[in-house]
Structure 1
Amino acid sequence: MKSTVVVGYDQTPHSEVALEQAAREAAMRGATLNVVTAFRRPDSSGSAQSAQDADPQDTARKTAEAVAQHGVDRVHERRPQVQATPYALVGPAGKIIAQAAHSADLLVLGSRGQGGFTGLQVGSTSMRALADACCPVLVVRGEPDVTHERIVAAVDIDEYCEPVLDFAFAEASRRGVRITVIHVWDEPWIVSYGQQDPGIADDIALIEREREDRLAALIQSVQHRYPGMQPFHQVATGSAGRLLVEAAERADLIVTGARRHGEGRHGMQIGPVTQTLLHHAACPIAVVPVS
Protein backbone atom coordinates (compact mmCIF):
# COMPACT_ATOMS: atom_id res chain seq x y z
CA MET A 1 0.00 0.00 0.00
CA LYS A 2 1.15 3.53 -0.71
CA SER A 3 2.23 5.35 2.42
CA THR A 4 0.53 8.52 3.67
CA VAL A 5 1.81 11.73 5.20
CA VAL A 6 -0.65 14.04 6.99
CA VAL A 7 -0.04 17.72 7.72
CA GLY A 8 -2.07 20.09 9.87
CA TYR A 9 -2.49 23.32 7.94
CA ASP A 10 -4.18 26.62 8.85
CA GLN A 11 -2.32 29.11 6.61
CA THR A 12 -0.24 30.51 9.50
CA PRO A 13 3.52 30.96 9.00
CA HIS A 14 4.30 27.94 11.18
CA SER A 15 1.95 25.72 9.19
CA GLU A 16 3.40 26.97 5.90
CA VAL A 17 6.80 25.69 7.02
CA ALA A 18 5.19 22.42 8.12
CA LEU A 19 3.46 22.12 4.74
CA GLU A 20 6.77 22.42 2.88
CA GLN A 21 8.39 19.83 5.16
CA ALA A 22 5.42 17.48 4.76
CA ALA A 23 5.59 17.81 0.97
CA ARG A 24 9.29 17.01 1.09
CA GLU A 25 8.64 13.95 3.25
CA ALA A 26 5.89 12.76 0.91
CA ALA A 27 8.18 13.17 -2.10
CA MET A 28 11.02 11.25 -0.45
CA ARG A 29 8.69 8.45 0.63
CA GLY A 30 6.64 8.28 -2.58
CA ALA A 31 3.65 8.93 -0.32
CA THR A 32 0.33 10.68 -0.72
CA LEU A 33 -0.11 13.90 1.27
CA ASN A 34 -3.32 14.76 3.14
CA VAL A 35 -3.63 18.47 3.96
CA VAL A 36 -5.96 18.75 6.96
CA THR A 37 -7.63 21.96 8.15
CA ALA A 38 -9.77 21.74 11.28
CA PHE A 39 -12.63 24.10 12.05
CA ARG A 40 -15.04 24.59 14.92
CA ARG A 41 -18.78 24.30 14.61
CA PRO A 42 -20.05 27.90 15.09
CA ASP A 43 -22.13 28.68 18.15
CA SER A 44 -25.43 30.02 16.84
CA SER A 45 -27.17 30.19 20.23
CA GLY A 46 -28.81 33.49 21.04
CA SER A 47 -28.90 34.70 17.45
CA ALA A 48 -31.89 34.46 15.15
CA GLN A 49 -31.06 33.40 11.61
CA SER A 50 -33.29 34.60 8.81
CA ALA A 51 -33.92 32.65 5.68
CA GLN A 52 -31.64 35.02 3.80
CA ASP A 53 -28.69 34.59 6.18
CA ALA A 54 -25.90 32.15 5.30
CA ASP A 55 -25.64 29.03 7.43
CA PRO A 56 -22.71 29.74 9.82
CA GLN A 57 -21.57 26.11 9.83
CA ASP A 58 -21.65 25.97 6.03
CA THR A 59 -19.64 29.20 5.89
CA ALA A 60 -17.07 27.84 8.35
CA ARG A 61 -16.76 24.62 6.39
CA LYS A 62 -16.31 26.43 3.08
CA THR A 63 -13.66 28.66 4.63
CA ALA A 64 -11.78 25.63 5.95
CA GLU A 65 -12.11 23.88 2.60
CA ALA A 66 -10.63 26.93 0.88
CA VAL A 67 -7.69 26.96 3.33
CA ALA A 68 -6.99 23.25 2.79
CA GLN A 69 -7.25 23.65 -0.98
CA HIS A 70 -4.84 26.59 -0.80
CA GLY A 71 -2.36 24.29 0.92
CA VAL A 72 -2.78 21.65 -1.79
CA ASP A 73 -2.28 24.27 -4.50
CA ARG A 74 0.96 25.40 -2.86
CA VAL A 75 2.20 21.80 -2.74
CA HIS A 76 1.40 21.28 -6.42
CA GLU A 77 3.19 24.50 -7.35
CA ARG A 78 6.41 23.42 -5.63
CA ARG A 79 6.26 19.63 -5.93
CA PRO A 80 3.89 18.68 -8.76
CA GLN A 81 4.83 15.00 -8.43
CA VAL A 82 3.24 14.78 -4.96
CA GLN A 83 -0.37 13.61 -4.85
CA ALA A 84 -2.06 15.93 -2.32
CA THR A 85 -5.68 15.96 -1.13
CA PRO A 86 -7.46 18.64 0.96
CA TYR A 87 -9.57 17.78 4.01
CA ALA A 88 -11.71 20.15 6.10
CA LEU A 89 -12.76 18.44 9.33
CA VAL A 90 -14.91 19.75 12.15
CA GLY A 91 -13.75 19.55 15.76
CA PRO A 92 -10.90 20.57 18.10
CA ALA A 93 -7.83 20.99 15.90
CA GLY A 94 -5.33 18.88 17.85
CA LYS A 95 -7.65 15.94 18.33
CA ILE A 96 -9.04 16.04 14.78
CA ILE A 97 -5.61 16.22 13.14
CA ALA A 98 -4.38 13.27 15.23
CA GLN A 99 -7.47 11.26 14.25
CA ALA A 100 -6.92 12.09 10.58
CA ALA A 101 -3.41 10.63 10.87
CA HIS A 102 -4.51 7.48 12.70
CA SER A 103 -3.35 5.15 9.91
CA ALA A 104 -0.69 7.45 8.43
CA ASP A 105 3.04 6.83 8.32
CA LEU A 106 3.83 10.35 9.49
CA LEU A 107 2.05 13.40 10.91
CA VAL A 108 3.71 16.79 10.37
CA LEU A 109 2.88 19.77 12.58
CA GLY A 110 4.00 23.35 12.88
CA SER A 111 5.29 24.47 16.25
CA ARG A 112 2.36 26.81 16.74
CA GLY A 113 -0.93 27.47 14.93
CA GLN A 114 -3.82 29.88 15.18
CA GLY A 115 -4.61 30.93 18.72
CA GLY A 116 -1.22 29.82 20.03
CA PHE A 117 -0.07 31.66 23.13
CA THR A 118 3.02 33.68 22.33
CA GLY A 119 4.60 32.57 25.59
CA LEU A 120 4.59 28.94 24.47
CA GLN A 121 7.21 27.75 22.02
CA VAL A 122 5.06 24.80 21.02
CA GLY A 123 1.36 25.56 20.74
CA SER A 124 -1.42 23.74 22.57
CA THR A 125 -2.80 22.36 19.29
CA SER A 126 0.49 20.65 18.45
CA MET A 127 0.85 19.29 21.98
CA ARG A 128 -2.70 17.89 21.90
CA ALA A 129 -2.09 16.29 18.50
CA LEU A 130 1.11 14.74 19.83
CA ALA A 131 -0.64 13.34 22.88
CA ASP A 132 -3.38 11.77 20.71
CA ALA A 133 -1.24 10.59 17.77
CA CYS A 134 -0.73 6.91 16.97
CA CYS A 135 1.99 7.41 14.33
CA PRO A 136 5.37 9.19 14.32
CA VAL A 137 4.96 12.97 14.58
CA LEU A 138 7.35 15.52 13.10
CA VAL A 139 7.16 18.93 14.78
CA VAL A 140 8.83 21.50 12.55
CA ARG A 141 10.85 24.23 14.24
CA GLY A 142 14.19 26.00 13.78
CA GLU A 143 15.51 27.71 10.64
CA PRO A 144 14.48 25.69 7.55
CA ASP A 145 17.44 26.90 5.44
CA VAL A 146 20.09 25.85 7.99
CA THR A 147 21.47 22.37 7.28
CA HIS A 148 24.02 20.21 9.08
CA GLU A 149 23.65 17.01 7.02
CA ARG A 150 23.09 15.04 10.21
CA ILE A 151 20.24 13.34 12.09
CA VAL A 152 20.45 12.63 15.82
CA ALA A 153 18.61 9.68 17.38
CA ALA A 154 18.15 10.00 21.15
CA VAL A 155 17.53 6.58 22.70
CA ASP A 156 16.96 5.17 26.17
CA ILE A 157 18.63 1.76 26.17
CA ASP A 158 16.72 0.80 29.33
CA GLU A 159 13.48 0.95 27.31
CA TYR A 160 12.39 -0.60 24.00
CA CYS A 161 13.88 1.80 21.44
CA GLU A 162 14.13 -0.08 18.12
CA PRO A 163 11.29 1.97 16.49
CA VAL A 164 13.24 5.17 17.24
CA LEU A 165 16.41 3.77 15.67
CA ASP A 166 14.53 2.38 12.68
CA PHE A 167 12.81 5.71 12.01
CA ALA A 168 16.09 7.64 12.33
CA PHE A 169 18.04 5.26 10.08
CA ALA A 170 15.29 5.29 7.43
CA GLU A 171 15.13 9.09 7.49
CA ALA A 172 18.91 9.46 7.25
CA SER A 173 18.99 6.96 4.39
CA ARG A 174 16.27 8.83 2.46
CA ARG A 175 18.03 12.16 2.97
CA GLY A 176 21.52 10.83 2.36
CA VAL A 177 22.91 12.32 5.58
CA ARG A 178 24.93 11.13 8.58
CA ILE A 179 23.36 9.72 11.72
CA THR A 180 24.48 10.03 15.33
CA VAL A 181 22.89 7.88 18.06
CA ILE A 182 23.08 9.31 21.57
CA HIS A 183 22.21 7.67 24.88
CA VAL A 184 22.31 9.94 27.91
CA TRP A 185 23.00 8.23 31.22
CA ASP A 186 21.10 10.62 33.45
CA GLU A 187 22.28 9.63 36.95
CA PRO A 188 23.42 12.91 38.55
CA TRP A 189 23.56 11.46 42.05
CA ILE A 190 26.23 8.90 41.20
CA VAL A 191 28.26 11.40 39.18
CA SER A 192 28.19 13.85 42.11
CA TYR A 193 29.15 11.06 44.49
CA GLY A 194 32.03 10.09 42.23
CA GLN A 195 33.35 13.64 42.28
CA GLN A 196 33.44 13.48 46.08
CA ASP A 197 34.95 9.98 46.18
CA PRO A 198 37.56 9.43 43.42
CA GLY A 199 37.60 5.74 44.31
CA ILE A 200 34.24 5.28 42.60
CA ALA A 201 35.50 6.68 39.28
CA ASP A 202 36.48 3.20 38.04
CA ASP A 203 32.98 1.93 38.78
CA ILE A 204 31.44 4.80 36.82
CA ALA A 205 33.77 4.13 33.87
CA LEU A 206 32.77 0.45 33.95
CA ILE A 207 29.07 1.36 33.85
CA GLU A 208 29.66 3.73 30.93
CA ARG A 209 31.56 1.05 28.96
CA GLU A 210 28.77 -1.45 29.62
CA ARG A 211 26.19 1.03 28.38
CA GLU A 212 28.26 1.80 25.30
CA ASP A 213 28.42 -1.92 24.48
CA ARG A 214 24.65 -2.22 24.86
CA LEU A 215 24.10 0.82 22.66
CA ALA A 216 26.43 -0.56 19.97
CA ALA A 217 24.56 -3.88 20.00
CA LEU A 218 21.20 -2.12 19.59
CA ILE A 219 22.52 -0.11 16.67
CA GLN A 220 23.93 -3.21 15.00
CA SER A 221 20.53 -4.93 15.24
CA VAL A 222 19.03 -2.16 13.07
CA GLN A 223 22.00 -1.18 10.91
CA HIS A 224 21.93 -4.31 8.74
CA ARG A 225 18.65 -3.09 7.20
CA TYR A 226 20.39 0.07 5.97
CA PRO A 227 23.55 -1.00 4.12
CA GLY A 228 26.04 1.79 3.64
CA MET A 229 24.99 3.70 6.75
CA GLN A 230 27.90 4.25 9.14
CA PRO A 231 26.46 5.69 12.36
CA PHE A 232 28.41 7.40 15.10
CA HIS A 233 27.27 6.60 18.63
CA GLN A 234 27.89 8.25 21.97
CA VAL A 235 27.09 7.64 25.64
CA ALA A 236 26.88 10.93 27.52
CA THR A 237 26.43 11.59 31.23
CA GLY A 238 24.43 14.47 32.67
CA SER A 239 21.12 16.23 32.09
CA ALA A 240 19.37 14.54 29.16
CA GLY A 241 17.32 17.62 28.29
CA ARG A 242 20.32 19.96 28.25
CA LEU A 243 22.63 17.62 26.35
CA LEU A 244 20.04 16.79 23.69
CA VAL A 245 19.11 20.45 23.18
CA GLU A 246 22.82 21.10 22.62
CA ALA A 247 22.98 18.19 20.15
CA ALA A 248 20.00 19.62 18.27
CA GLU A 249 22.03 22.73 17.47
CA ARG A 250 24.17 20.59 15.16
CA ALA A 251 21.39 18.51 13.59
CA ASP A 252 18.73 18.78 10.90
CA LEU A 253 16.41 16.51 12.87
CA ILE A 254 16.40 14.92 16.30
CA VAL A 255 14.43 11.70 16.76
CA THR A 256 13.16 10.55 20.14
CA GLY A 257 10.55 8.17 21.48
CA ALA A 258 7.43 8.35 23.62
CA ARG A 259 5.53 5.54 25.29
CA ARG A 260 2.11 4.66 23.97
CA HIS A 261 -0.81 5.08 26.34
CA GLY A 262 -1.91 1.80 27.84
CA GLU A 263 -5.35 0.31 28.44
CA GLY A 264 -6.48 0.65 24.83
CA ARG A 265 -6.04 4.44 24.71
CA HIS A 266 -4.66 6.09 21.59
CA GLY A 267 -1.72 8.44 21.69
CA MET A 268 1.59 8.93 23.46
CA GLN A 269 2.86 10.01 26.86
CA ILE A 270 5.11 12.99 26.27
CA GLY A 271 7.86 12.84 28.89
CA PRO A 272 9.87 15.73 30.34
CA VAL A 273 12.93 15.27 28.09
CA THR A 274 10.78 15.25 24.95
CA GLN A 275 8.90 18.30 26.21
CA THR A 276 12.22 20.09 26.72
CA LEU A 277 13.20 19.32 23.13
CA LEU A 278 9.82 20.45 21.80
CA HIS A 279 10.16 23.80 23.51
CA HIS A 280 13.88 24.49 23.12
CA ALA A 281 15.46 22.46 20.28
CA ALA A 282 16.90 24.43 17.37
CA CYS A 283 15.77 21.86 14.78
CA PRO A 284 12.67 19.76 13.99
CA ILE A 285 11.80 16.91 16.38
CA ALA A 286 10.35 13.54 15.38
CA VAL A 287 8.51 11.76 18.20
CA VAL A 288 8.10 8.04 17.56
CA PRO A 289 5.59 5.96 19.57
CA VAL A 290 7.06 2.91 21.31
CA SER A 291 5.38 0.19 23.33
Structure 2
Amino acid sequence: MDVLRTPDACFEGLADWSFAPHYTQVGGPDGANLRVAYVDEGPRDGAPVLLMHGEPTWSYLYRHIIPQLVAKGHRVLAPDLVGFGRSDKPAARTDYTYERHVDWMSQWFVGLDLKDLVLFCQDWGGLIGLRLVAAFPERFAGVIAGNTGLPVGTGLTPGFDAWLKMSQTIPVMPIGGIINMGTTRELSPEEVAAYDAPFPDETFKEGARQFPALVPVTAEHASVAENQAAWKVLEAFDKPFLTAFSDNDPITKGGEAGFKDKVPGAQGEAHTILSGGHFLQEDCPAAIADLLDDMVRRTR
Protein backbone atom coordinates (compact mmCIF):
# COMPACT_ATOMS: atom_id res chain seq x y z
CA MET A 1 0.00 0.00 0.00
CA ASP A 2 1.43 3.36 -1.05
CA VAL A 3 0.50 6.09 1.42
CA LEU A 4 0.52 9.86 1.00
CA ARG A 5 0.83 12.35 3.86
CA THR A 6 -0.21 15.96 3.45
CA PRO A 7 2.67 18.30 4.41
CA ASP A 8 2.16 20.12 7.71
CA ALA A 9 2.69 23.41 5.91
CA CYS A 10 -0.67 22.96 4.19
CA PHE A 11 -2.41 23.38 7.56
CA GLU A 12 -0.65 26.55 8.67
CA GLY A 13 -2.74 29.69 9.17
CA LEU A 14 -6.14 28.14 8.46
CA ALA A 15 -9.12 30.33 9.34
CA ASP A 16 -10.50 29.72 12.86
CA TRP A 17 -8.29 26.64 13.33
CA SER A 18 -5.99 26.69 16.34
CA PHE A 19 -6.31 23.10 17.58
CA ALA A 20 -3.18 21.02 18.06
CA PRO A 21 -3.13 17.73 16.17
CA HIS A 22 -2.79 14.40 17.96
CA TYR A 23 -1.74 11.22 16.21
CA THR A 24 -2.00 7.46 16.58
CA GLN A 25 -1.13 4.51 14.37
CA VAL A 26 -3.54 1.93 12.97
CA GLY A 27 -2.71 -1.19 11.00
CA GLY A 28 -3.63 -1.62 7.37
CA PRO A 29 -3.33 -4.47 4.85
CA ASP A 30 0.09 -5.96 4.07
CA GLY A 31 1.41 -4.73 7.39
CA ALA A 32 1.05 -1.07 6.47
CA ASN A 33 0.81 1.44 9.30
CA LEU A 34 -1.38 4.50 8.85
CA ARG A 35 -1.32 7.67 10.91
CA VAL A 36 -4.71 8.86 12.14
CA ALA A 37 -4.95 12.49 13.20
CA TYR A 38 -7.49 13.79 15.69
CA VAL A 39 -8.42 16.79 17.79
CA ASP A 40 -8.55 16.19 21.55
CA GLU A 41 -9.59 19.31 23.43
CA GLY A 42 -10.93 20.03 26.91
CA PRO A 43 -10.29 18.47 30.32
CA ARG A 44 -9.22 14.82 30.35
CA ASP A 45 -11.84 14.10 33.01
CA GLY A 46 -14.60 15.94 31.15
CA ALA A 47 -17.55 14.10 29.66
CA PRO A 48 -16.29 12.87 26.26
CA VAL A 49 -17.99 13.92 23.05
CA LEU A 50 -17.06 12.28 19.73
CA LEU A 51 -17.58 14.31 16.55
CA MET A 52 -17.32 12.35 13.31
CA HIS A 53 -17.12 14.01 9.92
CA GLY A 54 -17.97 12.61 6.53
CA GLU A 55 -17.24 13.08 2.83
CA PRO A 56 -15.24 15.06 1.71
CA THR A 57 -14.64 17.06 4.89
CA TRP A 58 -12.33 16.75 7.89
CA SER A 59 -12.43 17.80 11.53
CA TYR A 60 -12.30 21.43 10.40
CA LEU A 61 -16.06 20.98 9.96
CA TYR A 62 -16.39 21.13 13.76
CA ARG A 63 -14.21 24.18 14.41
CA HIS A 64 -17.12 26.28 15.73
CA ILE A 65 -18.59 23.44 17.81
CA ILE A 66 -15.43 22.26 19.57
CA PRO A 67 -14.77 25.45 21.58
CA GLN A 68 -18.40 25.74 22.65
CA LEU A 69 -18.32 22.24 24.10
CA VAL A 70 -14.92 22.77 25.74
CA ALA A 71 -16.26 25.94 27.36
CA LYS A 72 -19.01 23.82 28.91
CA GLY A 73 -16.41 21.51 30.46
CA HIS A 74 -16.52 18.62 28.00
CA ARG A 75 -13.66 16.67 26.43
CA VAL A 76 -14.06 16.79 22.65
CA LEU A 77 -12.55 14.33 20.18
CA ALA A 78 -12.76 14.80 16.43
CA PRO A 79 -10.80 12.34 14.27
CA ASP A 80 -9.88 12.75 10.63
CA LEU A 81 -10.93 9.64 8.73
CA VAL A 82 -8.17 7.88 6.82
CA GLY A 83 -7.88 9.67 3.49
CA PHE A 84 -8.95 13.03 4.91
CA GLY A 85 -7.57 15.94 6.91
CA ARG A 86 -4.18 15.32 8.50
CA SER A 87 -4.67 11.54 8.47
CA ASP A 88 -2.68 9.45 6.01
CA LYS A 89 -4.10 8.92 2.53
CA PRO A 90 -3.69 5.60 0.72
CA ALA A 91 -2.80 6.40 -2.85
CA ALA A 92 -5.00 3.86 -4.67
CA ARG A 93 -8.79 3.95 -4.77
CA THR A 94 -8.90 0.20 -4.28
CA ASP A 95 -7.24 0.69 -0.88
CA TYR A 96 -10.48 2.22 0.39
CA THR A 97 -13.33 -0.04 1.47
CA TYR A 98 -16.17 0.46 3.91
CA GLU A 99 -14.97 -2.35 6.16
CA ARG A 100 -11.42 -1.07 6.24
CA HIS A 101 -12.69 2.33 7.37
CA VAL A 102 -14.71 0.72 10.14
CA ASP A 103 -11.66 -1.30 11.17
CA TRP A 104 -9.32 1.69 11.11
CA MET A 105 -11.63 3.79 13.27
CA SER A 106 -12.32 0.84 15.58
CA GLN A 107 -8.57 0.51 16.15
CA TRP A 108 -8.31 4.22 16.91
CA PHE A 109 -11.36 4.13 19.17
CA VAL A 110 -10.33 1.09 21.20
CA GLY A 111 -6.72 2.23 21.32
CA LEU A 112 -7.77 5.40 23.15
CA ASP A 113 -10.06 3.30 25.40
CA LEU A 114 -12.93 5.73 24.93
CA LYS A 115 -16.01 5.16 27.10
CA ASP A 116 -19.29 6.87 28.07
CA LEU A 117 -19.25 8.87 24.86
CA VAL A 118 -21.93 10.99 23.29
CA LEU A 119 -21.56 10.78 19.50
CA PHE A 120 -22.52 13.33 16.88
CA CYS A 121 -22.27 11.91 13.38
CA GLN A 122 -23.06 13.25 9.92
CA ASP A 123 -22.71 11.83 6.41
CA TRP A 124 -20.00 9.10 6.38
CA GLY A 125 -19.38 9.99 10.00
CA GLY A 126 -22.65 8.15 10.61
CA LEU A 127 -22.00 5.25 8.24
CA ILE A 128 -18.81 4.60 10.20
CA GLY A 129 -19.77 6.04 13.60
CA LEU A 130 -22.98 4.04 13.87
CA ARG A 131 -21.01 0.91 13.07
CA LEU A 132 -18.83 1.79 16.08
CA VAL A 133 -21.98 2.11 18.19
CA ALA A 134 -23.12 -1.31 16.98
CA ALA A 135 -19.71 -2.86 17.67
CA PHE A 136 -19.23 -1.23 21.08
CA PRO A 137 -22.67 -0.22 22.39
CA GLU A 138 -21.46 -0.40 25.98
CA ARG A 139 -18.97 2.42 25.30
CA PHE A 140 -21.62 4.95 24.22
CA ALA A 141 -23.89 7.02 26.47
CA GLY A 142 -25.94 8.51 23.65
CA VAL A 143 -26.07 9.39 19.96
CA ILE A 144 -27.12 12.39 17.89
CA ALA A 145 -27.44 11.62 14.18
CA GLY A 146 -27.69 14.37 11.58
CA ASN A 147 -27.94 14.00 7.80
CA THR A 148 -26.69 10.44 7.76
CA GLY A 149 -27.84 6.85 7.50
CA LEU A 150 -26.90 3.20 7.65
CA PRO A 151 -27.88 1.92 4.19
CA VAL A 152 -28.67 -1.74 3.52
CA GLY A 153 -29.01 -1.82 -0.26
CA THR A 154 -32.55 -0.54 -0.63
CA GLY A 155 -31.93 2.28 -3.10
CA LEU A 156 -30.74 5.86 -3.28
CA THR A 157 -32.30 9.30 -3.35
CA PRO A 158 -32.20 11.47 -6.49
CA GLY A 159 -29.91 13.85 -4.61
CA PHE A 160 -27.41 11.12 -3.83
CA ASP A 161 -27.62 9.75 -7.36
CA ALA A 162 -26.66 13.17 -8.73
CA TRP A 163 -23.77 13.46 -6.27
CA LEU A 164 -22.55 9.93 -7.09
CA LYS A 165 -22.47 10.62 -10.82
CA MET A 166 -20.71 13.97 -10.37
CA SER A 167 -18.10 12.57 -7.98
CA GLN A 168 -17.14 9.79 -10.38
CA THR A 169 -16.90 11.88 -13.53
CA ILE A 170 -15.66 15.37 -12.63
CA PRO A 171 -12.00 15.63 -13.74
CA VAL A 172 -10.90 17.94 -10.91
CA MET A 173 -12.70 17.48 -7.60
CA PRO A 174 -13.17 20.94 -6.01
CA ILE A 175 -13.37 19.86 -2.37
CA GLY A 176 -13.98 23.28 -0.83
CA GLY A 177 -16.42 24.20 -3.58
CA ILE A 178 -18.40 21.00 -3.00
CA ILE A 179 -18.76 21.82 0.67
CA ASN A 180 -19.79 25.36 -0.15
CA MET A 181 -22.54 23.96 -2.41
CA GLY A 182 -23.78 21.87 0.54
CA THR A 183 -24.34 24.76 2.95
CA THR A 184 -27.05 27.38 3.10
CA ARG A 185 -24.63 30.12 4.05
CA GLU A 186 -21.79 31.18 1.75
CA LEU A 187 -18.41 30.05 2.97
CA SER A 188 -15.61 32.59 2.86
CA PRO A 189 -12.69 32.06 0.45
CA GLU A 190 -10.54 31.30 3.51
CA GLU A 191 -12.94 28.58 4.66
CA VAL A 192 -13.08 27.03 1.20
CA ALA A 193 -9.27 27.04 1.16
CA ALA A 194 -9.17 25.27 4.54
CA TYR A 195 -11.29 22.44 3.15
CA ASP A 196 -8.95 22.21 0.18
CA ALA A 197 -5.85 22.20 2.40
CA PRO A 198 -5.57 18.41 2.97
CA PHE A 199 -5.46 17.80 -0.80
CA PRO A 200 -2.44 19.49 -2.45
CA ASP A 201 -3.32 17.83 -5.77
CA GLU A 202 -5.66 15.23 -7.25
CA THR A 203 -3.50 12.29 -6.15
CA PHE A 204 -4.48 13.00 -2.53
CA LYS A 205 -8.22 12.73 -3.31
CA GLU A 206 -8.61 9.00 -4.00
CA GLY A 207 -10.52 8.49 -0.74
CA ALA A 208 -12.82 11.40 -1.52
CA ARG A 209 -13.39 9.96 -4.98
CA GLN A 210 -14.09 6.46 -3.73
CA PHE A 211 -16.37 7.15 -0.75
CA PRO A 212 -19.55 7.86 -2.76
CA ALA A 213 -19.14 4.58 -4.65
CA LEU A 214 -18.86 2.64 -1.38
CA VAL A 215 -22.26 3.64 0.02
CA PRO A 216 -24.23 0.34 0.01
CA VAL A 217 -27.29 1.55 -1.89
CA THR A 218 -27.85 -1.68 -3.83
CA ALA A 219 -28.05 -5.29 -2.71
CA GLU A 220 -24.89 -6.00 -4.71
CA HIS A 221 -22.77 -3.52 -2.75
CA ALA A 222 -20.27 -4.74 -0.19
CA SER A 223 -21.13 -4.16 3.50
CA VAL A 224 -24.89 -4.69 3.14
CA ALA A 225 -24.76 -7.73 5.43
CA GLU A 226 -22.53 -5.94 7.93
CA ASN A 227 -24.91 -2.97 8.07
CA GLN A 228 -27.89 -5.28 8.49
CA ALA A 229 -26.13 -6.84 11.47
CA ALA A 230 -25.42 -3.38 12.86
CA TRP A 231 -29.11 -2.50 12.58
CA LYS A 232 -29.93 -5.52 14.75
CA VAL A 233 -27.81 -3.98 17.51
CA LEU A 234 -29.29 -0.52 17.01
CA GLU A 235 -32.78 -2.02 17.21
CA ALA A 236 -31.90 -2.97 20.80
CA PHE A 237 -30.02 0.25 21.65
CA ASP A 238 -32.04 1.87 24.45
CA LYS A 239 -29.75 4.77 25.35
CA PRO A 240 -30.73 8.27 24.14
CA PHE A 241 -30.72 8.48 20.36
CA LEU A 242 -31.68 11.86 18.93
CA THR A 243 -32.10 12.80 15.28
CA ALA A 244 -31.14 16.32 14.22
CA PHE A 245 -31.38 16.42 10.44
CA SER A 246 -31.51 19.65 8.47
CA ASP A 247 -34.31 21.15 6.42
CA ASN A 248 -32.36 21.71 3.23
CA ASP A 249 -30.49 18.53 2.36
CA PRO A 250 -31.66 16.72 -0.79
CA ILE A 251 -29.34 13.77 -0.09
CA THR A 252 -30.63 12.62 3.32
CA LYS A 253 -34.01 14.35 3.68
CA GLY A 254 -36.44 12.08 5.49
CA GLY A 255 -33.70 9.71 6.60
CA GLU A 256 -34.41 10.37 10.26
CA ALA A 257 -37.63 8.33 10.07
CA GLY A 258 -35.86 4.97 10.15
CA PHE A 259 -33.95 5.82 13.31
CA LYS A 260 -37.03 7.20 15.02
CA ASP A 261 -39.04 4.09 14.17
CA LYS A 262 -36.46 1.39 14.89
CA VAL A 263 -34.13 2.53 17.67
CA PRO A 264 -35.62 2.11 21.17
CA GLY A 265 -33.50 4.96 22.50
CA ALA A 266 -35.16 7.32 20.02
CA GLN A 267 -38.55 6.90 21.68
CA GLY A 268 -39.47 9.97 23.70
CA GLU A 269 -36.56 12.07 22.41
CA ALA A 270 -37.23 15.64 21.28
CA HIS A 271 -36.19 15.06 17.67
CA THR A 272 -35.56 18.23 15.75
CA ILE A 273 -35.10 19.58 12.25
CA LEU A 274 -32.34 22.17 12.12
CA SER A 275 -31.94 24.97 9.61
CA GLY A 276 -29.16 24.19 7.17
CA GLY A 277 -27.82 22.27 4.22
CA HIS A 278 -26.08 18.92 4.02
CA PHE A 279 -23.13 20.23 6.04
CA LEU A 280 -25.30 21.49 8.87
CA GLN A 281 -22.27 21.92 11.14
CA GLU A 282 -21.46 24.99 9.03
CA ASP A 283 -24.98 26.38 9.18
CA CYS A 284 -26.04 25.83 12.81
CA PRO A 285 -23.03 25.03 15.02
CA ALA A 286 -24.49 26.65 18.14
CA ALA A 287 -27.66 24.57 17.93
CA ILE A 288 -25.63 21.37 17.56
CA ALA A 289 -23.42 22.29 20.51
CA ASP A 290 -26.50 22.93 22.66
CA LEU A 291 -28.02 19.56 21.71
CA LEU A 292 -24.78 17.79 22.58
CA ASP A 293 -24.42 19.61 25.88
CA ASP A 294 -28.00 18.72 26.81
CA MET A 295 -27.48 15.05 25.99
CA VAL A 296 -24.22 14.88 27.93
CA ARG A 297 -25.88 16.38 30.99
CA ARG A 298 -28.83 14.01 30.71
CA THR A 299 -26.61 10.96 30.44
CA ARG A 300 -24.01 11.76 33.11
TM-score range, shorter chain: under 0.3
* Higher relative contact order (CA closer than 8 Å, sequence separation 6+): 2
Which TM-score applies when normalising by structure 1? 0.26
Q: TM-score normalised to the size of structure 2?
A: 0.26
Query: Which structure has the greater CA radius of gyration?
Result: 1
Higher strand share goes to which structure?
1
